[in-house]
Amino acid sequence: MTTNVRPYPQLRKTIAQRDRSLRDKVMSLEDAAKLVADGETVGIGGSMMSRTPMAMIWQLIRAGRRDLTCVRPITTSEGDLLLGSRLSRHVVTSWFSQGIMWGVSKVLRHHVETGQATFEEWSHLAIGMRLRAGAMGVPFMPMRPMLGSDIVKIRPEAREISCPFTGEKMLLVPALNPNLAIIHVNRCDAYGNAQIDGLQFMDVDLAMAADRVILTTERIVSNDQIRRAPDQTKIPFFCVEAVVEVPFGSAPHECYGVYEPLMNHMNYYTGLVNKDPVGGLKTYLDEYVHAPSSWNDYLNRLGMDELLEAARRGRSVLND
């Protein structure tokens, strides 16, 4: 269970200890991975197949990290990689599938049914409310929706109460403050001021709730450029510990306005693991995670033609 709700003074102390200086935080994927310790709770930005910080997950697997508790609002194929690599054995989410087209993850089913991993299910809103509480520094948030589902029966961490003002039944969900968040963004400056195009999902609350944040970004821009559109800056520099420039950093998933999902590759992947959740995933990890010499080599293995086509389709969203 992930209900270690921290007292407010402890949260304030953690925030006060953050380095708020405007310093260059740019580093490599390899160096950023060194900031992650085994056993930590890690929030993963984006949602479903959108802005997944795939490059950072890829590097953490290569670095041999283990036993992370991973939190994501909606989990797809990246969750398979988390479990199959042993990077994580505990996933906290509202939905775990390989995508709408391919059904429930057979990798998840194998790992949970054999006792190799645990799947902690909350409603989608509950994940958001828990992160919102964590971002606000309060111990819980009230909500109603889970009261109408069986999820509440398997989540004893949530507490039913009567509203002191109306007498209505309410559900309190505990705050969630990950040790670390990994978030992929469209662009940011070297200090970590990040701008996100399209849906933000729960990334702003995740960044504010986490003790520290690693940003991967499609491109690093100047602070002057960030200041030209300050309303687009969603994650402030003082939350961020590291900035890594990784073009196509969500591939084979999408980054809004830059590229769409690489569907040919996703069809190949799901065909592989749905046929054999253990052997198929091992083959995939060997070929696409462990064998490449670099992230650029990984992209080459995905195929330049498919990357360019995904980029063409991604840009057309904004241009049409």
CATH architecture observed for domain 27-125+176-319: 3-Layer(aba) Sandwich (3.40)
Q: Given this model, what pLDDT does residue 148 score?
A: 85
Q: For residue 215, what are its two tokens?
A: 């940003």
Query: In the chain, what are the domain boundaries?
Result: 27-125+176-319, 145-174
Alpha-carbon 69 to chain mean position: 12
C-beta separation of 131 from 205 below 8 A = yes
CB atoms within 10 A of CB 319: 8
CA atoms within 13 A on the CB side of 296: 2
Q: Given this model, what pLDDT does residue 1 score?
A: 47
Q: Given this model, what pLDDT does residue 316 score?
A: 75
C-beta separation of 215 from 242 below 8 A = yes
Q: Given this model, what pLDDT does residue 220 score?
A: 98
Q: Given this model, what pLDDT does residue 317 score?
A: 63
Question: pTM of the prediction?
Answer: 0.95
Q: Given this model, what pLDDT does residue 195 score?
A: 98
CA dihedral sign, ordered 291, 293, 294, 298: negative
Q: Given this model, what pLDDT does residue 6 score?
A: 82
Give me the tens of pLDDT residue by residue for the chain, a chain 320 residues long: 456 788 878 887 887 787 888 899 999 999 999 999 999 999 999 999 999 999 999 999 999 999 999 999 999 999 999 999 999 999 999 999 987 788 889 999 999 999 999 999 999 999 999 999 999 999 999 999 899 889 999 999 999 999 999 999 999 999 999 999 999 999 999 999 999 999 999 999 999 999 999 999 999 999 999 999 999 999 999 999 999 999 999 999 999 999 999 999 999 999 999 999 999 999 999 999 999 999 999 999 999 999 999 999 998 766 54
d(CA 183, CA 216): 6
For residue 310, the one-letter residue type is A
